[in-house]
């Protein structure tokens, strides 16, 4: 039986006038929120959505979106939140990959989609608070197992198509249980949700908050662009738990006046997704001294598997410390043959345990290359590191072409393949330096080539965070002695004209 | 004064916005945020470029949604900053 769904239904039955969700322009008490979830769950059933069906949710962050997400999961269907900022071509690619029984979106986004993608799915267009009829039928309890898929989270794929990571109900419960225990979370907490719903960070602030019967403040996409008002909302909401990425926290500090806010209510400031530069973290801890700080680590395929509680910022030059393995995680460092390595030896970080997901939706090839079953389900993260003498995991980076740009995960091959796909270039190679993405290109017609036209064409196909910060033109790419493109040489010459 | 500020603002939006190029329709009332023409990093870059182009300082309190809704609002923001500086 799904413990997550059991707990959510119990919360729905006990819900009253206490705040459940709040956002910029309003708030909704628990009773009304769960009535809304029940109304939507009923409407999904009536539309013929069965257990195991995928339901794509392509909507801006807000109460109606969260109601839909919960309704899908409680019905035993699989929720697939899609980045509301995706261009139409990418949303279409996701729909093609996932094959949802239903797409829940709004009129504006429905109009953006090409006919084909819409025809294959049954498109249901939601309106702000439609479906939240008070006093309707209570939530029906379905037979849902811990191994049944609950959600698919999309991530960048090196084949040029996004891939879907399949999370079971048991995966969600294992992470949520750990977070509740580790940080002593209760229904008295007030969560602050700045991360998008298609990010695994929302499994803490949105899912775990509602599992506990606590409240959560949802920061909308446009609201999230302005650090000052976000910092004010943190203060105004008297948030107690905030889980974010270093890039965002850095911007709140530098441009949001975070140091001037009264954040006395904040108990935990958690971050994950990228290495926090030590001097910036030190400045943040000085500006906001109240909460406990913790660096969480784990790719979406495993969710959080280790945690470093921080009393002070790390020393300059120290290897990034992502802490002790969570009790549920069996982390091993392995060589290229899969043999376990000893303390102090560097190898690939591999993870087993109940948060390890099933793999990629209908991509047995990709799943087989990253997951193994000998003897336990093991995920090979592609991250490299070692265990130090204290038992802490040290993160050293990657050896493939997956990059983190402002906390977003991007496969550089996907950017290159998409650039080739535009037909504007005959060669494309992406490099990253100081967090900036440089796309090196050989143009078909150098005289007529405009870097801005390429970036614009990419913007119609890629998420915003995967767009190059610079486009560099080359007559030909430098090659290594074996005739391959010399990525090292390209990376070294990055730093020229603006895109 | 605003008729001299406006072309500069439009040029800067085209410059910082990766999803914006010369062909993107950009009028004084094109909704910049609603159409997602600028992201969080580009907004801060726009502010810095406007500050150096006009020799002004835009206070953090002015970095709010309402002041960036369209080009007209950004022009008004620059005008206020210039009046303060004058």
Chain A environment of B44 (Cβ under 8 Å):
251, 255
User: Mean pLDDT in chain A?
Assistant: 92
Domain CATH for A357: 3.40.50.12780
CB contact under 8 Å between B21 and A456, yes or no, is yes
Q: Is residue A498 part of a domain?
A: no
E strand segments, A228-276: 241-244, 268-271
DSSP letters along A417-486, please?
HHHHHTTSEEEEEEEEETTEEEEEEEESSTTT--HHHHHHHHHTTS-GGGS-SEEEE-SS--B-TTSSB-
Element (H, E) at A125: strand A122-125
User: In this model, does residue A425 exceed pLDDT 60?
Assistant: yes
Q: Compute the C-alpha angle A378/A398/A282, nearest 5°.
A: 110
Residue A499 lies in a domain: no
Q: Which residues of B touch A452 (CB under 8 A)?
A: 21-22
Chain B contact present for A24, CB below 8 A: no
pLDDT digits (tens, 9 = 90+) for A177-210: 999 999 999 999 999 999 999 999 999 999 999 9
Asked if pLDDT for residue A261 goes beyond 80, the answer is: yes
Mean pLDDT along residues A304-317: 94
How far apart, in whole angstroms, are the C-alpha atoms of residue A276 and residue B55? 33
pLDDT, residue A495, reads 52
- On whether both A96 and A160 belong to a single domain, the answer is yes
pLDDT above 70: percentage of residues in chain A: 95
One domain for residues A438 and A350: no
Torsion angles phi and psi, residue A249, rounded to 5? -65, -40
Confidence of residue A41 (pLDDT cuts 50, 70, 90): very high
Q: What is the pLDDT of residue A127?
A: 56
Nearest to B61 among A228, A406, A450 (CB): A228
A51 occurs within a structural domain: yes
Same domain, A204 and A251: yes
Q: Which of A77-81, A235-239, A300-304, A432-436 has the lowest mean pLDDT?
A: A432-436
Range B2-85: architecture per CATH = Orthogonal Bundle (1.10)
Which of A393, A427, A450 is the last residue before a domain boundary? A393
Provide the 10 A C-beta neighbour count for residue A7.
17
Residue A438 has pLDDT above 90, yes or no: yes
Decide if A314 is inside a domain. Answer: yes
pLDDT for the residue A126: 65
For residues A347-361, give the mean pLDDT.
97
Q: What is the four-CA torsion angle of A491, A394, A466, A482, rounded to 10 degrees?
A: 40
**Looking at residue A496, what is its pLDDT?**
43
Task: Encode A311-364 in three state secondary structure.
Answer: CCCCCCCCCCEEEEECCCCEEEEECCCCCECCCCCCEEEEEECCCCCCEECCCH
The per-residue pLDDT for B35 is 85
Which of B40, B48, B66 is most worth mutating to test chain A (most A CB atoms within 10 A of its CB)? B40
Residue A410 lies in a domain: yes
B25 touching chain A per CB within 8 A: no
Domain ranges of chain B: 2-85
Q: Lowest-confidence range among A74-78, A86-90, A136-140, A380-384?
A: A136-140
Instruction: Answer yes or no: is the ipTM higher than 0.85.
Output: yes
Q: How far is B45 from chain A (nearest CA, A)?
A: 12
- pLDDT, tens digit, for every residue of A120-173? 667 777 654 455 455 567 788 899 999 999 999 999 888 888 999 999 999 999
Averaged pLDDT, A447-458: 90
Same domain, A52 and A150: yes
Asked if the Cβ–Cβ distance from A464 to B39 is below 8 Å, we say yes
pLDDT of res. A135: 58
Q: To which residue do tokens 């709004």 refer?
A: A106
Total domains, chain A: 2
Residues A358 and A224 in one domain: yes
Give the pLDDT confidence of A365-403 residue by residue, as tens digits.
999 999 998 778 999 999 999 999 999 999 999 989 999
* Distance, CA of A172 to CA of A207 (rounded, Å): 9
- Which single residue is written with the structure tokens 């913007």? A459
- Euclidean distance between CA atoms B78 and A433, whole angstroms: 33
For residue A412, being part of any structural domain is answered with yes
B21 touches chain A (CB under 8 A): yes
Residues 63-82 of B with CB under 8 A from A: 63-65
pLDDT of residue A484: 81
pLDDT at residue A356 greater than cutoff 90:
yes
> Would A143 be classed as within a structural domain?
yes
Please answer whether residues A295 and A319 qualify as being in contact, where contact means their C-beta atoms are separated by less than 8 angstroms. Answer: no
Q: Which of A221, A257, A459 sits opposite B18 (nearest CB)?
A: A459
Dihedrals phi, psi of A415, to nearest 5 degrees? -65, -40
What was the pLDDT predicted at A134? 55
At which of A393, A422, A447 does a domain end? A393
Q: Does A465 touch chain B (CB under 8 A)?
A: yes
Domain end, chosen from A372, A393, A414, is at A393
What CATH number is attached to the domain comprising A481? 3.30.300.30
Task: Say what the pLDDT of residue B2 is.
Answer: 63
Identify the domain containing residue A482 by its residue range. Answer: 402-493
A chain contacts of residue B36, beta-carbon cutoff 8 Å: 85, 221, 464
Same-domain pairing of A333 and A203: yes
Give residue-wise pLDDT tens across range B12-44.
Answer: 999 898 888 777 788 999 999 988 889 888 999
Across the interface, do A453 and B40 touch by the CB < 8 Å criterion?
A: no
The predicted model gives A222-235 an average pLDDT of 96
**Mean pLDDT of chain B, nearest integer:** 90
């Amino acid at each position: 039986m799904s413990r997550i769904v059991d707990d959510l239904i119990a919360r729905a039955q006990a819900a009253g006038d206490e705040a459940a969700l709040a956002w910029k322009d309003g708030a909704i008490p628990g009773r009304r929120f769960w009535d809304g979830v029940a109304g939507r769950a009923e409407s999904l059933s009536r539309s013929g959505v069965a257990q195991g069906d995928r339901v794509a949710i392509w909507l801006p962050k807000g109460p109606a979106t969260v109601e839909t997400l919960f309704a899908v999961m409680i019905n035993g269907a699989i929720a697939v939140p899609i980045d509301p900022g995706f261009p139409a071509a990418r949303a279409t690619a996701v729909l093609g990959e996932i094959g949802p029984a239903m797409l829940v979106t709004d009129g504006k986004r429905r109009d953006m989609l090409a006919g084909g993608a819409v025809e294959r799915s049954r498109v249901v267009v939601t309106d702000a608070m439609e479906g939240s009829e008070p006093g309707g039928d209570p939530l029906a309890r379905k037979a849902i197992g811990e191994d049944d898929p609950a959600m698919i989270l999309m991530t960048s794929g090196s084949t040029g198509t996004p891939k879907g990571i399949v999370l079971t109900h048991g995966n969600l419960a294992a992470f949520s249980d750990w977070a509740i225990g580790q940080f002593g979370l209760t229904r008295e907490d007030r969560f602050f949700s700045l991360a998008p719903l298609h990010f695994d960070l929302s499994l803490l602030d949105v899912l775990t908050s509602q599992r506990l019967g606590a409240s959560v403040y949802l920061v909308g996409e446009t609201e999230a662009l302005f650090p000052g008002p976000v910092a004010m909302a943190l203060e105004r909401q008297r948030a107690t738990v905030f889980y974010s990425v270093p890039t965002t926290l850095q911007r709140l500090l530098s441009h949001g006046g975070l140091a001037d806010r009264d954040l006395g209510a904040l108990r935990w400031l958690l971050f994950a997704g990228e290495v926090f530069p030590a001097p910036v973290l030190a400045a943040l801890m000085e500006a906001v001294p109240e909460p406990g700080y913790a660096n969480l680590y784990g790719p979406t395929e495993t969710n959080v598997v280790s945690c470093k509680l921080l009393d002070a910022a790390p020393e300059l030059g120290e290897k990034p410390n992502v802490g002790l393995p969570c009790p549920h995680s069996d982390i091993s460092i392995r060589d290229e043959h899969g043999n376990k390595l000893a303390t102090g030896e560097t190898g690939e970080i591999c993870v087993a345990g109940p948060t390890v997901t099933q793999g990629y939706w209908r991509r047995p090839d990709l799943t087989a290359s990253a997951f193994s079953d000998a003897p336990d389900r093991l995920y090979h993260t592609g991250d490299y590191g070692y265990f130090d003498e204290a038992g802490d995991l040290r993160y050293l980076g990657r050896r493939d072409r997956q990059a983190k740009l402002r906390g977003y995960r991007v496969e550089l091959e996907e950017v290159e393949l998409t650039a080739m796909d535009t037909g504007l270039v005959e060669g494309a190679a992406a490099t990253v330096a100081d967090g900036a993405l440089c796309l090196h290109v050989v143009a078909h017609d150098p005289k007529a080539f405009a870097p801005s036209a390429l970036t614009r064409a990419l913007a119609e196909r890629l998420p915003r965070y995967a767009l190059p910060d610079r486009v560099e033109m080359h007559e030909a790419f430098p090659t290594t002695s074996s005739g391959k493109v010399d990525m090292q040489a390209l990376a070294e010459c990055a730093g020229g004209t603006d895109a | 004064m605003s008729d001299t500020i406006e072309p500069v603002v439009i040029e800067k939006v085209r410059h910082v916005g990766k999803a914006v190029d010369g062909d993107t329709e950009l009028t004084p009332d094109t909704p910049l945020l609603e159409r997602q023409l600028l992201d969080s990093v580009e907004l801060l870059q726009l502010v810095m470029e406007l500050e150096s182009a006009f020799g002004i300082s835009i206070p953090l309190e002015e970095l709010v949604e309402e002041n960036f809704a369209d080009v007209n609002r950004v022009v008004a923001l620059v005008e206020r900053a210039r009046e303060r500086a004058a």
